[in-house]
């Protein structure tokens, strides 16, 4: 899955209640990684959802991630686990062949993340978002900073990104993004994913800012 991660551009994070048809529509529209994140769900609910997520991702050849919990990631046969700054360290989260993603919210955290052994980083939140209440926006300047760093570690801009502002994120230098509501809450998840991919196509992975 490391090769799939290197080429991934549109990362969809969603909750345990997300139905299989929505997942498949998002993947058909161009989503190439999916994360199961639901702090309110029980372990049993997460594992039940993990079966649907695993099946949908297998059908599309897309990496499947679980948030925060490497034990549940392994039990759900996920490809990776994503941790935050206040969660397990990257080295402690890595179990077996699990990929590890790490959230970063500042240039200092981004620099540390590059040396943490993480397989991918998130950069944000670009804008404040209800999925991370109380987390102040890092802004487009943080995206510009990440884009100025010469690194082979894939990084994804995250936080309040949707069809109305994705062009700003791309112009700031991002070639990969994470979205939640832009696809989950769309009346047409496939079309929403396709529109986001079209915006990302204007900045190929690895393009200079």
What is the tens place of the pLDDT at every residue in 125-159?
Answer: 999 888 777 778 999 999 999 999 999 999 999 99
Asked whether residue 206 is domain-assigned, the answer is: no
Domain count, the chain: 1
Residue with tokens 């490809």: 79
Asked whether residue 36 is domain-assigned, the answer is: yes
Residue 40 has pLDDT above 50, yes or no: yes
| Cβ neighbours of 89 (radius 10 Å) | 14
Q: Whole-angstrom Cα distance, residue 161 to residue 177?
A: 8
Give 206's pLDDT tier (boundaries 50, 70, 90): low
Asked whether residue 107 is domain-assigned, the answer is: yes
Asked whether residue 208 is domain-assigned, the answer is: no
Q: What is the mean pLDDT of residues 179-207?
A: 91
CA torsion angle for 185, 187, 190, 193 (degrees, to 10)? -50
Output the pLDDT for position 170.
97
CA 83 to chain centre: 11
Asked whether residue 205 is domain-assigned, the answer is: no
Range of the domain at 89: 2-200
Give 208's pLDDT tier (boundaries 50, 70, 90): very low
CATH number of the domain that residue 78 is part of: 3.20.20.70
Q: What is the mean pLDDT of residues 57-73?
A: 97
Q: What is the mean pLDDT of residues 12-24?
A: 98
Q: Whole-angstrom Cα distance, residue 42 to residue 1?
A: 27
């Amino acid at each position: 899955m490391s090769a799939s991660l290197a080429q991934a551009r549109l990362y969809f994070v969603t909750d345990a209640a997300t139905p299989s048809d929505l997942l498949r529509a998002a993947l058909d529209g161009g989503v190439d990684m999916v994360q199961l994140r639901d702090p309110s769900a029980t372990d049993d609910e997460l594992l039940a959802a993990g079966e649907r997520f695993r099946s949908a991702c297998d059908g599309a050849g897309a990496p499947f991630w679980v948030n925060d919990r490497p034990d549940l990631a392994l039990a759900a046969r996920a490809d990776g686990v994503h941790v935050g700054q206040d969660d397990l360290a990257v080295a402690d989260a890595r179990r077996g062949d699990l990929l590890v993603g790490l959230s970063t919210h500042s240039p200092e955290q981004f620099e540390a993340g590059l040396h943490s052994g993480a397989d991918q980083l998130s950069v944000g939140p670009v804008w404040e978002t209800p999925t991370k209440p109380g987390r102040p926006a890092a802004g487009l300047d943080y995206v510009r900073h990440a884009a100025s760093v010469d690194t082979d570690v894939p990084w994804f801009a995250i936080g309040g990104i949707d069809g109305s502002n994705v062009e700003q994120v791309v112009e700031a230098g991002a070639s990969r993004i994470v979205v939640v509501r832009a696809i989950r809450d769309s009346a047409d998840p496939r079309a929403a994913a396709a529109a986001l991919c079209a915006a990302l196509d204007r900045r190929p992975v690895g393009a200079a800012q």
